[in-house]
Amino acid sequence: MKWINRNDDESNFEDRRGRSTGKRLAAGGGIGTIIILALYLFTGQDFSSVADMFTGGEAQTETVDPSRVGENEDLKVFSLGVFNSANDVWTKIFNEQMQLEYRKPTFVTFTDQTMSECGGASGATGPFYCPGDEKVYIDLSFFHELATRFKAPGDLAMAYVTAHEVGHHVQKLLGLTDKMQQYRGRISEEEYNQLSVRLELQADFYAGLWARYAEAMNIIKLEEGDIESALGAANAVGDDTIQKQAQGYTVPDSFTHGTSAQRMRWFMKGYQTGDYKQGDTFNAETL
């Protein structure tokens, strides 16, 4: 994949690399807590408010590890470019085809762990979108794992992941996330998982749609092997493939993201049709 027109705008970007919030201190205590407490005591601030800070779970303190600020900068530049291009693509589709206003999400990069409206996140969580704060969270080291552990290297593999998460934001704007939320607890777990699969496959479709539009809008130029690279990622993160690797067998009822074949199929469908209306996975008879 080559950039023709990369948008490096950082106005919807939150860089938390090398930073950890006080919540971890609140839970873990430790030397950081002691130093901060000592600091507050020495500066003569009201101690009760400091105590509240640690017991209330709303700690605002932040520690910075300078050695990790700016970590994986090349991956940040790349995925921010994909993120911005996805917003440009969706702004166009919303305006021209849906007659709707597109509200941009925020892209958050972090190292190891961070907080979101959806709870704490760790690198082990993998990239995710939080509908509560409308932010896409990515620990950039995940992309190394994607290339090594998941054996899905390449630019478009990484781009697919980022565009998929922006796809979840589109679903939030279109009211699908809320609809899903209403079903939670009212239907069986198996039924809920099936809906979740449809939601995820639609985000895959949207990732394919992004690739098609980004190419047509002269933002990127795809090269030989790019689509295969994206499909490699879709294949690697299929529920069946992951379960087989982890436990040696699959439990289809527990699938929440779809099989490798389904994920590849819906990505391809988005890329080939270039028509958002073809991505109605919720009413599709076959997935």
Q: For the CB of residue 199, give the shortest distance to Zn ion in the complex, in Å.
A: 7
Minimum CB distance to Zn ion smaller for 200 or for 240: 200
In the complex with Zn ion, which residue's Cβ is closer, 10 or 280?
A: 280
Among residues 115 and 203, whose Cβ is nearest to Zn ion? 203
Contact 266, 202 (CB under 8 A): yes
CA distances from 221 to 85, 157, 214, 218, 228 (A): 13, 15, 8, 7, 15
The interface with Zn ion within residues 200-229 (CB under 5 A) comprises 200, 203
The CB-of-196 to Zn ion minimum distance in angstroms stands at 9
Q: To the nearest whole angstrom, how small is the minimum distance from the Cβ of residue 205 to Zn ion?
A: 12
Q: Choose between 155 and 200: whose C-beta lies nearer to Zn ion.
A: 200
Stretch that binds Zn ion, among 13-21, 46-54, 196-204, 216-224 (CB under 5 A): 196-204
Instruction: Say if residues 98 and 175 touch (Cβ distance below 8 Å).
Output: no
Rounded to an integer, what distance in angstroms lies between the CA atom of residue 36 and that of residue 59?
12
- Residues 81/6, Cβ–Cβ less than 8 Å: yes
C-beta of residue 13 within 8 angstroms of C-beta of residue 80: yes
| Shortest distance in whole angstroms from residue 127 CB to Zn ion | 8
Binding to Zn ion, residues 96-135 (CB under 5 A): none
Binding residue count for Zn ion, defined by CB under 5 A: 2
Min separation Cβ 185 and Zn ion, Å: 21
Q: How far is the CB of 206 from Zn ion (least distance, A)?
A: 10
- In angstroms, the CA 162 to CA 58 distance is 29
Cα dihedral across residues 245, 251, 254, 259: positive or negative: positive
Looking at the Cβ atoms of 53 and 170, the one nearer to Zn ion is 170
Residue with smaller CB distance to Zn ion, 50 or 199: 199
Torsion, Cα of 230, 234, 237, 239 (10° steps): 180
Q: Which of residues 32-91 bind Zn ion (CB under 5 A)?
A: none
Instruction: Please identify, using beta-carbon distances, which residue of 111 and 202 lies nearer to Zn ion.
Output: 202
Cβ atoms 171, 143 nearer than 8 A? no
Where in 218-277 is the site for Zn ion (CB under 5 A)? Answer: none
C-beta of 28: minimal distance to Zn ion in Å? 30
CA distance 137 to 131: 11
Q: What is the largest CA-CA distance in the chain?
A: 67
Instruction: Kindly calculate the radius of gyration of the chain based on its CA atoms and give it in whole angstroms.
Output: 21
- Residues of the shown chain interacting with Zn ion in the complex, contacts defined by CB under 5 A: 200, 203
